[in-house]
Amino acid sequence: MRVVKSWCAALALLLSGALVIARAAVQVSQQSETAERFLAVDVFVDSGDALLAAWQVELADTSGRARVVGVEGGEHAAFQEAPYYDPSALQRGRIVLASFHVGAELPSGRTRVARVHFLVSGGEPALEITPVTAATQGGGRIDIRTELSR
C-alpha cells in the first residue's frame, strides 16, 4: 500500500510538472504571436542591360501584420538618397516608392534601390512588391523585375 501511495504521489508530481511546462509553452507561443518586432527589407530592381534612371514600385503587406516605419536609400550612388513616398502611407500596409537620377553614373542589372523598415505585430507579414514603371536615360520606358530580400 505504501508503494502505491508513493507511486501515486510521484505520478501526481510528474503530471503537475508537465502541466506547468505545457502552460509555459502556450504562453510563449501566444507572446510570440502578439509581440512586436522590427523587420528591414531590401528592395531590388533589375533593369537587365538598360541603365536605370528612374523607378517606381508598390510595396504592400497583404496580411495586415506590418506597417512601414521608415525608408532608406539604396546602395548605388544614384539611389543612395531615400526614395520619394507619401509620408501618410507610413501608417498603412501599402507604400509607393519612387526615385530618379539625372546624372551619367547609372546602375544596370540587379540593384538595391531602397531599404524599408516595418514594425511587425504577430506572425510573418505577407509582403508583395509590384513594379509600376521605370525609365532609362532620356526618359525611355524600360521593363524591370523587382524583388524583396529580408
Q: What is the CATH number of the domain that holds 70?
A: 2.60.40.680
Set of cell numbers at residue 143 = 521593363
User: Do residue 21 and residue 89 come from a single domain?
Assistant: no
User: Do residue 10 and residue 63 come from a single domain?
Assistant: no
Number of domains in the chain: 2
User: Do residue 76 and residue 22 come from a single domain?
Assistant: no
User: Do residue 52 and residue 23 come from a single domain?
Assistant: no
User: Do residue 142 and residue 74 come from a single domain?
Assistant: yes
* Amino acid 37: pLDDT: 97
* Amino acid 32: pLDDT: 53
User: Do residue 17 and residue 71 come from a single domain?
Assistant: no
* Amino acid 7: pLDDT: 56
Higher pLDDT, 107 or 34: 107
* Amino acid 86: pLDDT: 86
* Amino acid 113: pLDDT: 98
Mean pLDDT of 63-82: 95
Mean pLDDT of 125-138: 97
Amino acid present at 29:
S
Instruction: Please tell me what DSSP assigns to residue 138.
Output: G
* Amino acid 93: pLDDT: 73
Summarize pLDDT for 39-59 with one digit per residue, the tens.
999 999 999 999 999 999 999
User: Do residue 44 and residue 114 come from a single domain?
Assistant: yes
Instruction: Please tell me what DSSP assigns to residue 74.
Output: -
Q: CB-hemisphere CA count at 13 Å for 17?
A: 6
* Amino acid 23: pLDDT: 60
User: Do residue 78 and residue 55 come from a single domain?
Assistant: yes
Summarize pLDDT for 84-113 with one digit per residue, the tens.
998 877 666 789 999 999 999 999 999 999
Task: Provide the whole-model pTM.
Answer: 0.76
Q: What are phi and psi of 94, to 5 degrees?
A: -140, 140
User: Do residue 61 and residue 86 come from a single domain?
Assistant: yes
> 56 pairs with which residues across the strands?
98, 133
Note down the domain range covering 20: 1-34
